[in-house]
Amino acid sequence: MLQSVRKVQEQSGPQELERKRLAERKSRRSRRDAFEVEKMDFMGACLDYYFAIQFKNPS
């Protein structure tokens, strides 16, 4: 049963493959954007921390 379902999926047309590829690219892009947002938040937190230390004890 599963083998036949897999065969049918493998034989899906180019439109289906293109749609899958686009969906994958979109999810990958949204994941990357989420990572960028996290990175910016983290860098902002690091800068806040750094400046807090700088202003508390100026050398």
Distance CA 35, CA 45 (A): 15
* Residue-wise pLDDT tens digits, 4-55: 655 555 566 778 888 888 888 878 888 888 899 999 999 999 999 999 888 8
Q: Report the pLDDT value the prediction gives residue 44, as an integer from 0 to 100.
A: 94
Distance CA 42, CA 4 (A): 48
Whole-structure pTM value: 0.45
- pLDDT of residue 2 exceeding 80, the answer is no
Range of the domain at 45: 32-59
Does the residue 21 lie in any domain?
no
Count of structural domains within the chain: 1
Q: Report the pLDDT value the prediction gives residue 34, as an integer from 0 to 100.
A: 87
Written as one letter, the residue type at 7 is: K
Backbone angles phi, psi at 57, to 5 degrees: -130, 85
Does the residue 53 lie in any domain?
yes
Does the residue 54 lie in any domain?
yes
